[in-house]
Structure 1
Amino acid sequence: MTDDSLRELLLSRIRDVADYPEPGVMFKDITPLLADPKAFTALTDALAGLCTRHGATKVVGLEARGFILAAPVAVKAGLGFIPVRKAGKLPGATLSQAYELEYGSAELEVHAEDLDAGDRVIVIDDVLATGGTAEASVQLVRRAGAEVVGVAVLMELGFLAGRRRLEPELRGAPLDALIKL
């Protein structure tokens, strides 16, 4: 499948929902894409190909929709899956990373023993918006001692400038978006 045909297929399965979760926001609903086995398989295959291309040894998925994408990608690529969760959701010893949102702050966590020096990690999420969650995840992976070999997302909302925020933190690792809006 070409990049253009993949983009067309994926876009045809993403539904716009006006004024959700608040007035003025156009929410990008990926549930129709997930419900279509052809589109979901094409998405999973494309992301797994990026894992292989970047030499990843583990896949990090970001809560919550990033889990839905990253877990089957890890299986397809033959790699381990590591969840990065909101604070307080993981039992046991964790590393945490605070970050700023548009209207406040949040915190992410990962199990301290899930990542090691020598791990080559690709971070996967559904949408790159302002870049705060991805930036915090990259910082968290590095604090765990692993190398970030890339960030991959289904779609990038370019008008929110997340790439500009995230790229300095990537230190030359690629940022791949299958769809750029």
Structure 2
Amino acid sequence: MDRLRQSLLDTPITEKDGYQYFVHPISDGVPMLEPELLREITVRIIQEVDLDGVDKIVTPAAMGIHISTAVSLSTDIPVAIIRKRSYGLDGEVSLSQVTGYSESEMYINDVEAGDRVLVLDDVLSTGGTMTAILDALTEMGAEVADVLAVIKKVGPNELDDTDYEVKTLINVDVVDGEVVVVDEDGDF
């Protein structure tokens, strides 16, 4: 996990309204994503999650797409992308996404009752998006085989009061304008 750790330690920090954000290729698409970093993350995800009988990888747009695509190419498991726009297709399910930063509707297509799914995302911060996705998938009758967020920003989040378990590859905090690695293999 050397590349991921080092990339986070080297990542720029920006501040908005008193909140410090790390700007990282996995979570923001800038600085550019080097193939070696994506490859390392993909291999690690495949090692960490339960892929037994998984029918689909489910990911929210937009920053989960590249991670999920890389895992899909390595496992031959198709990807269902949760979009922020309705297409009005049969079986489309709407969910409300509330995070510390925004509130919006998201739409799930191509997931059906009985599907065994792996949920992948780039960063877990407030837990609002992940909680909404897991609640919607459960209500739809999908079986959530496993859940993984590549990076977790430590601190309380909405998943703390649920039974959902989310695996992470690395847990970080931002302290005095720098990323601090808190746990490098942290299920939480």
Same fold, judged at TM 0.5 (above): yes
- Picking from 115, 119, 122, the partner of 1:119 is 115
- Picking from 72, 82, 85, the partner of 1:84 is 82
Number of corresponding residues: 166
* Higher deviation after alignment, 142-151 or 126-135: 142-151
Task: Write the distance in 2 (CA, Å) between the matches of 1:138 and 1:152.
Answer: 12
The equivalent of 1:157 in structure 2 is: 153
The equivalent of 2:98 in structure 1 is: 100
Q: TM-score, normalised by structure 1?
A: 0.79
- Picking from 138, 143, 147, the partner of 2:139 is 143
TM-fit CA distance, 1:176: 0.9
Instruction: Give CA deviations for 1:124-162 in whole Å, capped at 9, x if unaligned.
Output: 110000101001111222233210112101111112435
Task: Write the distance in 2 (CA, Å) between the matches of 1:147 and 1:75.
Answer: 22
Instruction: Give CA deviations for 1:35-68 in whole Å, capped at 9, x if unaligned.
Output: 3222210111112333455542210011110111
Equivalent AA in structure 1 for residue 106 of structure 2: L
Q: Secondary structure at the match of 1:19?
A: strand
If asked which structure has higher relative contact order (CA below 8 Å, sep 6+), I would say 2
The equivalent of 2:185 in structure 1 is: none
Task: Write the distance in 2 (CA, Å) between the matches of 1:118 and 1:103.
Answer: 33
The equivalent of 2:21 in structure 1 is: 26
- Picking from 65, 68, 80, the partner of 1:67 is 65
Instruction: Give CA deviations for 1:156-175 in whole Å, capped at 9, x if unaligned.
Output: 1112435414x42x2xxx42
Q: In 2 relative to 1, CA 52–101 (structure 1 residues): closer, same or farther, beyond 3 Å?
A: closer
Equivalent AA in structure 2 for residue 147 of structure 1: E
Task: Write the distance in 2 (CA, Å) between the matches of 1:110 and 1:11.
Answer: 32
Task: Write the distance in 1 (CA, Å) between the matches of 2:4 and 2:131.
Answer: 25
Q: Which runs of 5+ in 2 are unaligned?
A: 173-188
Identity of aligned residues (%): 23
- Picking from 160, 171, 175, the partner of 2:166 is 175
Equivalent AA in structure 2 for residue 149 of structure 1: A
Task: Write the distance in 2 (CA, Å) between the matches of 1:159 and 1:51.
Answer: 23
TM-fit CA distance, 1:10: 0.3
Whether the 8 Å CA contact 1:69–1:126 is kept in 2: the answer is yes
Superposed, 1:5-24 pairs within 5 Å as 6=1, 8-14=2-8, 15-19=11-15, 22-24=17-19
Task: Write the distance in 2 (CA, Å) between the matches of 1:39 and 1:101.
Answer: 27
TM-fit CA distance, 1:75: 1.9
Question: RMSD across aligned C-alpha pairs, in angstroms?
Answer: 2.4
